[in-house]
Amino acid sequence: MWVIESGFLKKADPERGRFRAFLKVALRNYARDANRRATAARRGGGRQFFSIDEPIEGAGEPAPFDAADPTALRPDELLDARWRRELVQTALQELEQELAATGKSAMFATFRDYFLDASPDVDYRAVAQRNGITVTDVTNWLSRTKKRFREHLLAIVTDTVRDAAALEEELRWLFQRPEGKDKNSP
């Protein structure tokens, strides 16, 4: 609510850069300011506080607070991951709605079963059996729906950038293959 009421989003200027970059800088500044406030001398000067209602460390009970997880994503990495996920989810929803509106829900089901199925052994034959179609249909439908998915994704990304150079940079960033990503990704 604060974001809307304060006019924060009005500060985002497409001429100055990508919206995602604006959000990352804002998040970094917020984290820095929150840390400064928490460690200000008038509030304890960096001392760690814990509740007196919690068990005390060394008394045979767990510590009242845990150390930060060193494997956790940094806030900017978390924002990037959520941004990617949101772009892809929106494109998938648009694709599903488009195909449903034209009576081609089975095409989306085929796309979903092949590209979004978490099982590692998914193949054309299994998808064909699951959807009651031929392997040739799977091949053709995947080709068409993958193309339409990319078009939807491109349209969404185009709305978030200011020019062709920024679009190219954003698409290059978007299609970087994160570690652990499988080859079936759309």
The DSSP-derived string for 72-123 is: SPPHHHHHHHHHHHHHHHHHHHHHHHHHHHTT-HHHHHHHHHHHS---TT--
Residue 45 lies in a domain: no
Lowest-confidence pick of 25-29, 117-121, 131-135, 158-162: 117-121
Residue 148 lies in a domain: yes
Residue 7 lies in a domain: no
Residue 23 lies in a domain: no
pLDDT at 130 over 70: yes
pLDDT at 38 over 50: yes
| pTM for this predicted structure | 0.59
pLDDT at 41 over 70: no
Predicted confidence at residue 74, as pLDDT, reads 74
pLDDT at 67 over 80: no
Domain assignment of residue 82, given as a range: 75-174
Residue 154 parent element (H or E): helix 135-158
For 18, other C-beta atoms within 10 Å of its C-beta total 20
Residue 30's pLDDT band (boundaries 50, 70, 90)? confident
Domain tally, the chain:
1
Residue 60 lies in a domain: no
Q: Are 31 and 75 in contact (CB under 8 A)?
A: yes
Residue 29 lies in a domain: no
Residue 97 lies in a domain: yes
Sign of CA dihedral 22, 28, 30, 32: negative
pLDDT at 151 over 60: yes
Residue 87 lies in a domain: yes
